[in-house]
Chain A
Amino acid sequence: MELVEAIILSVLAASTPLLIAATGELLTERSGVLNLGVEGMMIMGAACGFAGAWLSGSILVGALCGMVAGTLMSLIFALMALGLAVNQVATGLALTILGVGLSGLIGAGFVGERITPAAHLDIPGLTDIPFIGNVLFGQDAFVYLSLALIVGVWWFLYRTRPGLILRACGDNHLSAHALGYPVLRIRTLAVMFGGACAGLAGAYLPLAYTPFFIPGMTAGRGWIALALVVFSSWRPGRLVVGAYLFGAVTILQLHAQGWGVGIPSQFMSALPYLATIIVLVLLSRARTGGSTAPAALGTVFVPDR
């Protein structure tokens, strides 16, 4: 029982950065913009988040610095891909390369430093409930925030008028434009939201997960977040399932190795990806109409005035 609880706690921690980054990217893509620079924005968030927390001594300041760094990176993307109508795929890839390099430079002075990681919630009485207490009431703020974020994004997309307009931009920017909506301004805001989320997800790593900064510490999590958005078929509910499924398989394969199940570890390491692909295939077979990719995803829009 204790082991199951320990596994759930590890899964929550491992899934949270993926969920935060993927939530931001989901909104961005719903507006019709494909930003492949998630990894670059994340690692910038990690470097600046750690720098902010180390200099100020506050996790909150660190998290904000991470979000600002991610947002600034996304503005570079918006300037190129939306303002100058450059190819989005190429711009996103360039953003990742830029972020990996720049974060190493910014973080260089902080390598080897330590901070106190983000505090975990502790409500006397509730947190002490056996088994579920720690899982439900003993997490750090990032975990609760990640869930609030995805619920917020779901509510925004499906229950508000601006959310409807954003989805309209993603499905048919010409119609949205003809109706008089400022497509580029809406998309820029969506890209900025995605950047802030990616920055926050990156900041989670040095602020809560492993409280130190090392260049390249995101280790490809940005790419996984991107894949999760596709996996979710651009739906917030499925995104939560995907993020936790991926985290769960990642942690369980480590435990299975420790138990000595005897399955080659290389196969175990591939399991999270394999599980994701299998679920993706099942979902696509079971799909009955419904939303797939935003129709205008990744296409360049130049308003004619």
Chain B
Amino acid sequence: MRKTLLALAAGLLLAGSVGAASAADKLKVGFIYLGPIGDLGWTYQHELARQALVKELGDKIETTYLENVPEGPDAERAIEQLARAGNKLIFTTSFGYMDPTLKVAKRFPNVHFEHATGYKRNANMSTYSARWYQGRYIQGLIAAKMSKSGVLGYIGSFPIPEVVSGINATILAAQTINPNIKVKIIWANTWFDPGKEADAAKALIDQGADIIMQHTDSPAAMQIASERGKLAFGQDSEMIKFGPKTQLTSILDTWGPYYIARVKAELDGTWKSEDSWGGLDSHMFAMAPYTNMPDDVKKMAEDAQAAITAGKLHPFKCPIVGQDDKPIECKGGDHLDDGQILGMNFYVKGIDDKLPGK
């Protein structure tokens, strides 16, 4: 009996070491997530992409993720932990991880880093983001067509360029349909607080908005709009479940193809530090089906999507006039250049509000 046990134990040990050996041959890929993977929004979409990655290349790679990592000093420790654990490619999936990622990247020159939505790069640190403002432009067109009150309600997270450019794209599009369209903006000053997002949606509706747009992560606003019989746009994820008769469309983050391409490059040894800013043509994000709208509005949205994808329509086409009635300098020929969009810190004419901090 004892011998059998010993043999069994030895067998297990052997099996264990074999498993470890094969694991060591696999490329280790790490992910840092801002929220819980079940947030149904931003982090959830990154997690879906990671799962797609595992499905595609699971026999060659081993993935690890850390969820609920706050932006700031804690992030640096979490990123370093992944680097020390032997991950050779690390995706840090939120804007606030920018400086921590750069710091760790400088300490681990042999590890490659991919930072989402930031602008600082290094020889071993790429950045990637999506041109969501293109989707916001389409939403602006739909919103102006569908709004009866002519007042749009917009829930912002933080007044950073990505969010500001989304608001501007929305209002520029809406103005092409209804020059007098109004937008009310409430900053939640958080990415994720369902209760507060719901409160903001209630406040906007109580003040006369009949279309709710959000740049925060939970489906709370969608749910409130649905309860009050208004219309809304989802964010990051498909949220139609929370408003079957409410959701017009949603900007869906689809990171999967990018993650697979970058991991393949790492496996081939062709990984280079790059800046990827993909639009509708690159499938970095997608639009959820156009629902709860008449066919002509749907067709308009689809046409706009096709035109943007083909590069025929640019949301920030010049001339663009600022709140001070002066035209914005047009650095990209007939439209604003990428630098202007990435650093956008002004509202366009037609927004009555003041940009916080301006």
Contacts and interface: CB of A to CB of B under 8 A. Distances in A.
Most interface-central of A210, A255, A266 (chain B CB within 10 A)? A210
B38 interface: yes
Given A212-B219, A212-B242, A260 B354 contact: yes
Contact of B353 (A111, A212, A260): A260
A219 B204 contact: no
B207 A3 contact: yes
A126 interface: no
B199 A250 contact: yes
B282 interface: no
B194 interface: yes
Contacts of A290: none
B229 to A, nearest CB: 15
Nearest to B36: A215
B241 A14 contact: no
Q: Majority SS of interface residues in chain A?
A: helix
A203 to B, nearest CB: 13
Interface string A246-279: 0000110011011110101110110000000000
Given A6-B206, A104-B36, A219 B196 contact: yes
Contacts of A17: 195
B193 interface: yes
B40 A111 contact: yes
Nearest to A270: B189
A157 interface: no
Interface string B192-208: 11111011101110110
Given A219-B194, A255-B207, A14 B187 contact: no
A264 B357 contact: yes
Contacts of B196: 219, 250
B241 A112 contact: yes
A260 to B, nearest CB: 4
Given A6-B206, A104-B36, A254-B186, A214 B218 contact: yes
B159 interface: yes
Interface string A5-28: 011001000100100000000000
Contacts of A212: 194, 219, 223, 242
B269 interface: no
A210 B194 contact: yes
